Amino acid sequence: MPEFTHIDRGAARMVDITAKDEVARRARAAGRIHLRPETVRAIADGTVVKGNVLATARVAAILAVKETWRTIPMCHPIPIGSVRVDFEVQEDGIEATVEVATTGRTGVEMEALVGVSTALLTVWDMVKSAEKDEGGQYPVTRIDAIRVVEKVKGGTGAQA
């Protein structure tokens, strides 16, 4: 029977990373929210009723990155060196990209994924009244394509 690293016979444990060297690490994740074109225009024009959608989503992503270890049970709390959140406004949606960097003993891809997921969920929350149809449903709105775009460990390429 294999020895499991995190959950073994019902007993949870975090992987011991204390012997690992501290190394510069960086990860970039991206994802997309599909929206009605008129909602995208309102975001771009700054006329969404709740306020500045992308500024709010950017702050939410940064906060989520810093708290990833509280959300994902076996993630280590790690020092976050930097977080960069970018948005590409498209005709029928928003592409979000979150890049996280650290110098530490474990990678930051989960932090980048949590950041991009939270950014997109925040966009949805900020525009949900504009996205609902007459029945209160979301026929267009969806989040997809959340993925790690790049992961770098060590070397000068790990600096964000």
- The rounded radius of gyration (Å) of the Cα atoms in the chain is 18
**Which of the residues 21, 45, 125, 144 is marked catalytic?**
125
Can 92 be counted among the known catalytic residues? Answer: no
Q: Are 83 and 65 in contact (CB under 8 A)?
A: yes
Contacts of 83 (CB under 8 A, 6+ apart): 61, 62, 65, 66, 98, 99, 100, 101, 115
Name the DSSP class of 22: P
Residue 57: CA atoms inside 13 Å, Cβ hemisphere, count? 28
Q: Are 115 and 63 in contact (CB under 8 A)?
A: no
By annotation, the residues acting in catalysis are 125
